[in-house]
Amino acid sequence: MPVNRQDGFSLPELLVAMAIAGILSGIGFALYQRQWQSERTQAAGRELAARLDELRRRAQQKAGACHVAIDPAATTLGPAAANTSACSDFGSLNLRAVVQGATDLVLCVQALDSTAACSTATAGTTLVFTPRGTATTSALLRLHRPGDSRDRCVAIVAPLGLIRSGRASAAGGSCDFTTAF
């Protein structure tokens, strides 16, 4: 008597396995996209903090004041227009162009100790790093991307000229500088 063997899977079993795999891959892809958005915002924050620190160090090396103009509308920073400072040979930094996939990046400026909302309309904000590496004014620069759950913050603390990076807390929107991650 021949034995009737069935090797393999039936069609309903294969359909159930494919449905489960599709659901899991959809969830994984959504999590990947969210993480990718967050990494782009964090990369922009790192670029911004690095450029500000570079300009602060340049003021010290050249023993001259460094005037930095910040344009939130264009997400750029660079030497001030009438700049005859130690940093006049530095080009401007366009964060949207430098960070891959960050064309929707929003930069806003506010006073460090202010509770007012961050504004992208703050045109003509100028920071000055002195020859000693200190800053004449404090400022809080916030970076945001639509779809990203947390903003990134870069603070310039006067008079010491400290540049700190952090992230905005989900509740209240205040910046946490205890960690940059």
pLDDT tens per residue, range 68-110: 888 888 888 888 766 566 777 778 888 888 888 778 888 888 8
85 falls within a domain:
yes
3-state secondary structure of 25: helix
3-state secondary structure of 149: coil
6 falls within a domain:
no
Domain that holds residue 45: 11-176
145 falls within a domain:
yes
1 falls within a domain:
no
- β-partners of residue 108 are 142
For residue range 31-60, list pLDDT tens digits in order. 888 888 788 888 888 899 999 999 899 888
2 falls within a domain:
no
- C-alpha separations of 146 from 4, 77, 104 in Å: 60, 21, 7
For residue range 123-169, list pLDDT tens digits in order. 668 888 888 989 988 888 888 887 777 788 899 998 888 998 888 87
63 falls within a domain:
yes
The predicted structure's pLDDT at residue 123: 62
How many helices (DSSP H) and strands (DSSP E) are in the chain? 2, 9
As for how many domains the chain has, the answer is: 1
| Residue at token pair 């782009």 | 40
- Give the model's confidence band at 26: pLDDT under 50 very low, under 70 low, under 90 confident, else very high: very high
| Residue at token pair 């004041």 | 65
| DSSP code, position 117 | P
Give the span between the Cα atoms of 67 and 87, in whole angstroms. Answer: 7
Phi-psi label, residue 117: left if phi above 0, alpha if psi -120 to 50, beta otherwise = beta
CATH number reported for the structural domain that contains residue 49 in this entry:
3.55.40.10
> Distance between alpha carbon 2 and the CA centroid of its chain, in Å?
70
3 falls within a domain:
no
